Chains A and B, each alone.
Chain A
Amino acid sequence: MPESRFASFGRFRRSHEFWLLIVILVLCASLGAANGQFLTMQNLFDLLTSYAFVGILALGLLVVLIAGGIDISFTATASVAQYVTLTVANAYGANWICVFAIAIGIGGALGALNAIFIQKLRIPSIIVSVATLNIFYGLLIFFTGGKYIYSLPDWFATGIFWFEFDWGKDTSYGVNLQILALGFSFLFTWLLLNRSNIGRQIYAMGGNTDAAQRLGFHVFGLNMLVYCYMGVMAGIASLVQAQLAQSVAPTVLVGKELDVVAAVVLGGASLMGGVGTVFGTFLGLALLAILQNGIILLGVSSYWSPFFVGLVILISVSATAWSQRERRTRSARP
């Protein structure tokens, strides 16, 4: 007997995503009322484009968190992938498939390194990623001198623009590289986590590693997959960012980890593992974007943006932890 719609809606109503959705809708409504610019196609389109970088990384981090680990070295991975890929593209010529292949390869390799250190050497994942962040970044700047690359291949600079359509007077909208990559990443991650058995194994492992081992799950393999996935996302995101910024700046990406962590954590993923959804991450990303955009549109200096992000992170994780506490003490009494 298939589950009743009522039961599944009830379950949704109690979930983290539901409350997030409410907050977002309220925020959108108020911002839309306060500032006419907010709810315009142009603005929303621009937001999607500029947050693609963070969004793609957030999906990678989501998978890592679900598996029970953590990684904050992805900005360094992205910097390395970006630099190497575009240097090669400039030197030898390439095309879209080529650059993505190289970036994905580099990202995956650096991610694999993280996995090896965590699993084989049994070091806590936070410590490994603090270390690899510095190793990757340090070596990158050492070998490149931190030089920016401004000249990119023409085809890369032009980017893509699919499904063009007109809306309003002058501007035309369409799917650009950023939105395409973001959409594709969301779709792929969703398929991985909800439709593939590997994704479900990742959830299981994050929930109870010992049980996973006993059942014969390949724990090392899964971890390897998960950190490589993060690296791959970092590679993709790095190209998306380079195309948007029309330059490769090796020193600029590191420091953006917090936005990514914010998006995932706001979306309900837990550091303990086994918890988190793609929809939640999408909502978390949306909340982050709306917040930061709202700050600018309301005329507050963007210098204050990190402060508000930090505040929202703290409030969000506190509220989640508090409600978990409540649920735990409630279930202790039958």
Chain B
Amino acid sequence: MRNASTLALRGRLIRLAGSGTIATLMLLLVALWLVFAITIGDRFFSVNTLQSMAFQMPELGILSLAMMLALLSGGLNLSIIATANLSGLTIAFLLTHYIPGTQGIAWAGVQVLAIAAGFAVAALVGLVNGFVIAYLGVSPILATLGTMTLCKGLAIGLTRGNVISGFPEPIVFIGNGTVLGVPFALIVLALCALPVALMLNATPFGARVYMIGSNEKATRYSGVDTRAVLLKLYVLSSLLAGVAAVVMLARFNSANAAYGESYLLVTILAAVLGGVDPFGGFGKVGGLLLALIILQVISSAFNLLNLSQFLTLAIWGGILIAVAAVPHLGGKAPR
């Protein structure tokens, strides 16, 4: 009896190491930390550096979760940034035009409503994506390209490219405040990542998402309403973009139609680096988070080394190619 359970435990631990992915990522992280410690030295380990990393990561993390969901189902969501911006602008508009006074119930109420409105906009975009992809059968790349243009177009049309800024304190706190030393935004990320992880690993819905990503037709033949699952998934993906919108507008204390466009590449990179199969069906939130930490470490190091942001972009592109190529260079079996 005992032998069987020790074997099972061992098996479970090995599986936790993520069939290689999570273990590899941890190793990579440690290696990077060492390299940067040696080359950059003290500055790298300062509390400042760690804190600034902790502030920048959440919005990217939430957006990466949004991208990951689409990737798992065998698709792609190119509209997440545009959705976030449109949603953010909605919130910003309500906050700057309808806010009564500087305190009181109405004041607090409008803020909550504004955020809810932002979520509603994001959910609506998600519905359009989901409907067009699941019920009309349009390719996810094309569909989300369309909604991306639509959202960005709407945002630019309404704001003419202008920035809306100046939000009440509680909102600003979301992006810049800390709770016991931990940035509130990081807590928001955790509040998103944990339920998503739980949903993917332990709910019927999550199980279906993975199966659809690997073979949609067979999943349908097994009695799953794949169209409903995909619709819900794209709504969730866009809702996450909405949450990211709140964090972004809070951190910058402003909203704009063109923020964060360079993030699109990084979210795909984080997903693929984190073990998400670009063809669908495989990937875990844990891997994604580790990948994000790695990318954040690299990004901060680049900052400290005063590397041009454009060079950084190019390097991200190179890393994405390298990471996406690895499964075919003798690692995992190629798909």
Contact = CB atoms under 8 A, between A and B. Distances in A.
B260 interface: no
Interface string B73-99: 000100000000000000000000000
A310 B149 contact: yes
Contacts of A305: 153
Nearest to B160: A303
Interface string B295-331: 0000000000000101111111110110011001100
B143 interface: yes
Interface in A270-318: 271-272, 301, 303-311, 313-314, 317-318
Contact of B313 (A70, A126, A137, A313): A137
Q: For this complex, into which size category does the number of interface residues on chain B fall?
A: 35 or more
Q: Is the interface of A mostly helix, strand, loop or mixed?
A: helix
B139 A124 contact: no
Contacts of A318: 132, 136, 138
Contact of B321 (A123, A272, A322): A123
A307 B156 contact: yes
B148 interface: yes
B50 interface: no
Interface stretch (A1-9, A128-136, A171-179, A204-212): A128-136
A80 to B, nearest CB: 12
Interface stretch (B30-38, B205-213, B214-222, B264-272): B264-272
- B147, B160, B315, B324 interface centre (most CB from chain A within 10 Å): B324
B312 A127 contact: no
A310 B317 contact: no
Contacts of A127: 268, 272, 278, 320, 324
Interface of A: 70, 117, 121-124, 126-128, 130-142, 146, 258, 261-262, 265, 271-272, 301, 303-311, 313-314, 317-318, 321-322, 324-325
Interface of B: 76, 128, 132, 136-139, 141-143, 145-154, 156-157, 160-161, 262, 264-265, 268, 272, 278-279, 308, 310-318, 320-321, 324-325, 328-329, 334
Given A128-B321, A271-B141, 16 more contacts: A122-B328, A123-B325, A128-B324, A131-B265, A131-B317, A141-B308, A261-B145, A262-B149, A307-B156, A307-B157, A309-B149, A309-B153, A311-B150, A314-B147, A318-B136, A325-B137
17 contacts: A121-B324, A123-B328, A124-B278, A138-B310, A138-B316, A142-B311, A307-B156, A309-B149, A309-B153, A310-B149, A313-B145, A314-B128, A314-B143, A318-B136, A318-B138, A321-B136, A322-B136
